[in-house]
Amino acid sequence: MNEKTIPGSRRREFLRQLAVGAAATAVGGLALDDAQAQSGQSVIFRIDGIPVHDGQLRHVGVDGLLQLLSENGVKFYQTSGGHPWGAPGGIIARDDVVLIKVNCQWKCRGTTNSDVVRGVIHRILQHPDGFNGEVVIIENGQGRGSFVGNPSPSSYPDCPGVVINAEPPEETILTMDYLVNTTFAGQPVSHFLFDPIRTNFIADDEHVQNGYRRVTPPDASARVSYPCFTTARGNRIELREGRWTGSGYAPNVKLINIPVLKTHGGSGTTGVLKHVYGLVSMSDGSSTVRHYAEIGSQCAKMWVHVRVPDLNILDCIWVSHEQLDGYPPSATRRCDILLAGADPVAMDYYSAKHIMLPLGGSRASQHDPDVFDGLKNLKLAAAMNYFNANGGIGGQPARVGDANILVITRTVPVSLSSFTIS
């Protein structure tokens, strides 16, 4: 694995190459330079030393990550207005419907960090051209999901009530529902929980009813499924195809994937790749093989045959290395890290080996992606093989192994150039 903080003339040349590649190659919304593609490495961006959040709309870790991405040719805003985080080929356009996939099947540290989600939404709404689209927080907890902060109460007998993954004093307040109805009240921010529609399967020509469609991949070995729904602002989103206009599909749908890094029986860890288990419907007939004989290929099929996220942000601020449900507190560890990248296999390999495994604990033997079969073979290798047999991710192969991963790291505080955060 290569880790770079690129100084001097080498850094200027690296950025020049990235700028060239950004005009030529887009991978799930992430621009990757030709030189890196030719070197056979997947790129991961890492922000370290994120401070305890202070309750503001902006999030220092998120802003640092967006700045690091921008410095390396990956622009968050699609704009011609000269914003330091923007470019004509940027990720988020002013009229996009931006879907933010979170983990709300659990609570405590087992759910996506609400402070991070708030920070991402805040920056979307601050689009330099004026944001005229919609932000929609989405999740399928397969019957256990909740946007009000208290899912699966039987799993938390010693932790009743609302407790979510945010810094005090907001850990009992800042639910996804609170973000929508209080924090961003009156703004184009909504949410849609797919649990109530997960058993309703609809036809290809159904554009009104909320439900799921089945897709049979070319190998026909198993079905995957995806949600079709109408948002609070009346946008009809059919995840595979885009936004239904009444006569066809518009492409202005973006997907930001924000999982939280946790341990997971059977697959070692859960992170970027497996987060699609909160998009697919487990009622589509393939739940058994997904747990866990075909976990890798099943995850990859969702990416290949439905939609590749435009940005993956892996929440490693709190890492649950001992318990999937993020509780009790002793089962979690503050790491203060955010990762971003395009390759979910590389991100899961790296985060398991270099973030979770060093934490030790009773499950440490399951967190080694070079050894534990459930992680190494059933998940990562199987997913990588399926991706690469089907054109990779945006034309670039999925990869495992330290030698095949380039990590670009920055520690907070990050220089924010002339851009003033607020």
The full set of domain ranges for the chain reads: 2-411
Spatial distance between the Cα atoms of 384 and 314, rounded to a whole number of angstroms: 19
Spatial distance between the Cα atoms of 314 and 54, rounded to a whole number of angstroms: 20
Residue 419's pLDDT is 44
Q: Decide: helix, strand or coil at residue 73.
A: coil
**What is the signed CA dihedral for 178, 181, 185, 191, rounded to 10 degrees?**
100
- First-to-last alpha carbon distance for the chain, in angstroms, is 35
Residue 34's pLDDT is 42
Residue 103's pLDDT is 97
Cβ-proximal residues to 284 (8 Å cutoff; 6+ apart), any chain: 201, 212, 214, 223, 224, 225
DSSP annotation string for 163-218: --SS-TTGGGT--HHHIIIIITTTSSEEEEE-GGGTT-B--TT--SS-EEEEE--T
Beta bridge partners of 301: none
Our CA angle for 65, 68, 74, nearest 5°, is: 100
With CA atoms as reference, report the closest residue to 41 among 310, 273, 309, 346. 346
Spatial distance between the Cα atoms of 42 and 115, rounded to a whole number of angstroms: 28
Amino acid at 110: G
Answer for the pair 117, 333: CB distance below 8 angstroms, yes or no. no
Answer for the pair 302, 361: CB distance below 8 angstroms, yes or no. no
Residues of the chain with pLDDT under 50: 6-29, 33-36, 417-422
Bond before 7 cis per omega within 30 degrees: no
Tokens 């924010």 sit on residue: 416
Spatial distance between the Cα atoms of 167 and 282, rounded to a whole number of angstroms: 32
With CA atoms as reference, report the closest residue to 170 among 126, 113, 110. 113
Answer for the pair 39, 52: CB distance below 8 angstroms, yes or no. no
Spatial distance between the Cα atoms of 367 and 380, rounded to a whole number of angstroms: 12
Pick left, alpha or beta for residue 80 (phi over 0 → left; psi -120 to 50 → alpha; otherwise beta): alpha
Amino acid at 78: Q
Eight-state DSSP code of residue 51: P
Residue 8's pLDDT is 33
Q: How far is CA 379 from the centre of its chain?
A: 17
Answer for the pair 97, 254: CB distance below 8 angstroms, yes or no. yes
With CA atoms as reference, report the closest residue to 356 among 345, 343, 369. 369
Pick left, alpha or beta for residue 246 (phi over 0 → left; psi -120 to 50 → alpha; otherwise beta): left
Residue 6's pLDDT is 40
With CA atoms as reference, report the closest residue to 295 among 307, 282, 310. 282
Eight-state DSSP code of residue 227: E
Task: Phi first, then psi: give them for residue 306, nearest 5 degrees.
Answer: -115, -75
pTM of the model: 0.92
> Other CB atoms closer than 10 Å to residue 218's CB: what's the count?
8
